[in-house]
Structure 1
Amino acid sequence: MSFKKAAVLACALFAAGASLTNAQARDVLRVGTEPTFAPFEFLDTKTKEFAGFDIDLIRAVADKAGYDVHILNMGFDALLPALMTDTIDVVASGMSITPERAERVDFTKPYYKTGLSMLVRKSDAEKYTQFSHLEGRPIAVQIGTTGADKAKSIKDAKVTAFNTTSDAFMALSTGSADAVILDRPVIGYFLKSQPRLAKKLQLQPTMEDAASFGFAVKKGNTALLEKLNKAYDELEASGEAKKIFDKWFAE
């Protein structure tokens, strides 16, 4: 082959490769989050990367919908204004779906249901199935939480408020409390990260003050909303969504 023919062939191959690369290029989905809500979103101190249930799930949903993801760190109060002004495309930040927020933005179908739940020892699982069953019993909570407020509303309950969730869980493990009342995802994350203690404890199915989390998009952006919902449905059908859940939570 002559030098001229070789050069022409090389140019043709380069052009074909460039066209293929351009054809494979994907749009970038700008995702806003406040990474201070583990295990949903946080900054991994080792890798310095964004991590968490929401982060894994939105990456998987976006990938299934044909997008690459760029995560933007911002305050929680700034998320919806950023969405409404096209600074970001999606909010993935443990955001509850409320009527007030739904007036300003559109939400995907719920991907997580949260609320107050109770953790007990497995030996007491049949004894304490409802919050009312804790009347007069010692309960451990974290100070300043909605779980603490709930415990104080239970008749004659002996409530001990701790500075950290770890101390509350330890009180239950050592027998100085009969239950811990906290947000369900906090309990689920504890059980996942502490398998040795989890063997003796039971997260009860009862839940109060239930709320659902959803990803938010700009009001009226039905095209993106439909893509995200379709992608999530496919992840649920394939079992991938459940795998992501199981990575972060224990039920």
Structure 2
Amino acid sequence: MPLKRLVQAAVAALAMFAVAPASAQQVLKVGSTPTGIPFTFLDTKTNQIQGVMVDLMTEIGKDAGFNVQIEPMPFSALIPSLTSSKIDIIAAAMFITAPRKEVIDFSDPIYTYGEGLIVPKSDTKAYASQDDLKGEVVGAQIGTAFVDALKKSGLFSDVKAYDTIPDILRDVNTGRLKAGFADYPILAYNLKQGGFPEARLVAGYKPVTVGSVGIGVRKGEAELLGKINASLSKLKANGTVDKILDKWGLKG
């Protein structure tokens, strides 16, 4: 009997081992903004953050073997949240810049563009460069490469810093702001939705600050960065990145 019980116990232990799930897949917190459409934005129908970078991070996670948990936050909070380990990854419309690379590491470039210029529709002047707005009050989003460049230019009487791009669009739309600068694809997408009918994107304007969006990770996370870049390279090669960009109205 003792031997029988021993065998039964061994079989039971093996059975428990067999049905026990494999080690749970790693869940990484990804910081994204709710107002950066089409890169990242809050879909009010689902109450979920969606967009180019969310789709891309989901595909990268599938390929690299980790799950993604999207954490919505203001753009200016992304890097502080990453460096303080509140999140593990930044996936937003964030340019890879030298100052940022001193604080965090970036993946290979994903998409390249410059700033767009919006003015009230009643203002029909053709603005080709920032010089055409010398001495004016303009606006840009806090924490972006654009707001710093505008301030350093010394061209404007004031550069108002806004929390979100829709905030800039609203002030231009109502005529409270002479002109606003922000990510060209985000401005174009917002205006196509028809929510700011009294604002226009200046077609002939040539951007000054051109950069590439990348995925951000903490310094020292070489293994994670390597996985992200390996998966990103694979997704670029098999056409997945282009499909995601096309889905959201961006050219690959």
Q: Per the shorter chain, which TM-score range? A: 0.5 to 0.7
Equivalent residue for 1:39? 38
**Residues 74-104 of structure 1, C-alpha deviation per residue, up to 9 Å, x if partnerless?**
3333221221122211111211111111101
Contact 1:113 1:211 in 2 (8 A): yes
For residues 196-207 of structure 1, what are the structure 2 equivalents within 5 Å?
none
d(CA) in 2 for partners of 1:250 and 1:100?
27
d(CA) in 2 for partners of 1:225 and 1:11?
39
CA RMSD of aligned residues (A): 4.2
Equivalent residue for 2:17? 15
Equivalent residue for 2:199? none
d(CA) in 2 for partners of 1:54 and 1:43?
13
Equivalent residue for 1:211? 211
Count matched residues. 199
**Residues 110-140 of structure 1, C-alpha deviation per residue, up to 9 Å, x if partnerless?**
111121469xxxxxxxxx9x958xxx9xxxx
Contact 1:236 1:242 in 2 (8 A): yes
Equivalent residue for 1:75? 74
Contact 2:33 2:73 in 1 (8 A): yes
2:36 maps to a residue whose letter is F
Counterpart secondary structure, 1:228: helix
Equivalent residue for 2:29? 30
d(CA) in 2 for partners of 1:244 and 1:61?
12
1:189 partnered with 2:185: no
d(CA) in 2 for partners of 1:191 and 1:163?
11
**Residues 125-168 of structure 1, C-alpha deviation per residue, up to 9 Å, x if partnerless?**
xxx9x958xxx9xxxxxx8468xx9xxx9xxxxxxxx858999x
**Residues 44-88 of structure 1, C-alpha deviation per residue, up to 9 Å, x if partnerless?**
100111111111111111221110011122333322122112221
d(CA) in 1 for partners of 2:90 and 2:69?
12
Counterpart secondary structure, 2:209: strand
CA distance 1:99–1:66, shift in 2 (3 Å): same
Counterpart secondary structure, 1:22: coil
Q: When the two structures are superposed, what TM-score results if normalisation uses the length of structure 1?
A: 0.63
Q: When the two structures are superposed, what TM-score results if normalisation uses the length of structure 2?
A: 0.62
Deviation for aligned residue 1:187 = 5.8
For residues 101-116 of structure 1, what are the structure 2 equivalents within 5 Å?
101-116=100-115
Contact 1:105 1:219 in 2 (8 A): yes
**Residues 1-59 of structure 1, C-alpha deviation per residue, up to 9 Å, x if partnerless?**
xxx999987874453131xx214x31111111221211111111001111111111111
Equivalent residue for 1:234? 234
Counterpart secondary structure, 1:64: helix
2:246 maps to a residue whose letter is D
Give unmatched runs, 5+ long, in structure 2. 118-125, 133-137, 141-145, 156-168, 175-180, 195-202
Equivalent residue for 2:84? 85
CA distance 1:183–1:92, shift in 2 (3 Å): closer
Equivalent residue for 1:100? 99
1:61 maps to a residue whose letter is I
Equivalent residue for 1:199? none
| Greater share of residues in helix | 1
CA distance 1:187–1:84, shift in 2 (3 Å): closer
Q: What is the aligned-residue identity percentage?
A: 36
**Residues 220-249 of structure 1, C-alpha deviation per residue, up to 9 Å, x if partnerless?**
211111110001001011111111111112
Counterpart secondary structure, 2:22: helix
